[in-house]
Copies of this chain bind each other. A is one copy, B any other.
């Protein structure tokens, strides 16, 4: 016991930082940033690097049918379900070094400290790197974690094509062959973890603005995605009087005003409403647009708010706008996730042990944790990134923030690793 409570203090912050730099060298871009697209050569090299870290620590290293990679340290009681800690190592095309990677390496830091300090614990620990969280090469993302928990079908996942027509399944097969040839062990069946913990950069500005190195994530916002098409009549910009037009741009402009008005009426700071794609057809300076197409990304922590606005959006889309008809299509719906209170209590205590008044926040981004939450108690820590920037080579974190955040994670891991049975236990 004496040993276990020291885990978060014994953790070597310099080693974690060195690991961050080592992993960032795989797929490094000039002058900065990284690119490790899911299942590409760099992403696979990252797997081999992580596997080597695990083997050199004397851990068991497994991979599964989706190329998810696991490093396992046995506990005293092999009958207990393991605590799972991790995130992902794939990236956006032009990315920073910490999105996902930090969470995997934080798990590795916990594992290494336990191993090198010879700390015993009841429950097994596994560190995981999930396949294709980003969805940048093969859409949608979170392939590894969503398959793992049974949320998505293997056949659907492997049939995705990348921009060059390469099939997910073929890229995956090459990866699995590589892992097998390296002598790693294949483990076909997912297990149900005791709990899943993920440390991730916030990808938003809140912690930085509060000046806090770590925050407890109490849940993940729900998201509705829409694709809206406004259908007008193409015509000559010079010859068509305004009253004779059915201008799809004008229609879209009016509709957007109405949609925004509906969101403003909610008067809710937690609401996120983004039009990130907008295009016209035929897209010519002197031709009235025949078609305007745009997307909405709408997020909120509460399903009721999403449902209310969803109904209003559908209602607005039934009207004509500038004489144009509208088609509104829901392209994705992900329900909000609230992490369980009992696990959050553990994380709050851990965060408070390393950071005075660590804040609590809701994740605006998706993470692998959203899927794990379906099968086991799940929660996350956030650590700030400068100006909230991610998915960009300018992504930046401060070493001292990461050092504090990983200690919060280690503290929570201690608590969970020594617990035989508790409210979250799936194996009593």
A389 to B240, CA, bound (A): 10
Q: How many copies, total? A: 2
Q: Is A288's beta carbon under 8 Å from chain B? A: yes
Residues of B within 8 A of A390 (CB): 236
Q: Is A364's beta carbon under 8 Å from chain B? A: yes
Residues of B within 8 A of A389 (CB): 235
A277 to B249, CA, bound (A): 9
A280 touches B276 (CB 8 A): yes
B253 touches A274 (CB 8 A): no
Which residues from 269 to 297 on chain A have a C-beta closer than 8 Å to any C-beta of chain B?
A: 269, 271-280, 283-289, 292, 295, 297
Residues of B within 8 A of A223 (CB): 238
A244 touches B205 (CB 8 A): yes
Return A178 CB to nearest CB of chain B, in Å: 31
B234 touches A247 (CB 8 A): no
B280 touches A285 (CB 8 A): no
Q: Is A359's beta carbon under 8 Å from chain B? A: no
Contact with B along A226-269 (1 / 0, CB 8 A): 00000000111111111110010110010011001000000001
Interface size on A, residues (CB 8 A): 57
A389 to B257, CA, bound (A): 30
Residues of B within 8 A of A235 (CB): 388-389
Q: Is A206's beta carbon under 8 Å from chain B? A: yes
A287 touches B238 (CB 8 A): no
A236 touches B206 (CB 8 A): no
Residues of B within 8 A of A256 (CB): 253
Partner of A247, one of B242, B274, B299, B366: B274
A288 touches B269 (CB 8 A): no
Q: Is A122's beta carbon under 8 Å from chain B? A: no
B285 touches A238 (CB 8 A): no
Q: Can you name the residue of chain B whose Cβ is closest to the Cβ of A288?
A: B274
Residues of B within 8 A of A366 (CB): 238
**Interfacial residues, chain A to chain B (CB-CB below 8 A):** 202-206, 221, 223, 225, 234-244, 247, 249-250, 253, 256-257, 260, 269, 271-280, 283-289, 292, 295, 297, 299, 363-366, 388-392
Smallest CB-CB A-B distances: 4 pairs? A204-B239, A238-B364, A239-B364, A237-B274
Taking A249-B276, A277-B280 as known contacts, 7 extra A-B pairs with beta carbons closer than 8 A to each other, sorted by chain A number, are A204-B236, A240-B364, A247-B274, A275-B289, A276-B283, A276-B289, A278-B292
11 CB contacts below 8 A, A to B, read A202-B239, A205-B240, A206-B241, A225-B285, A234-B392, A238-B272, A240-B364, A242-B271, A249-B276, A253-B253, A287-B391
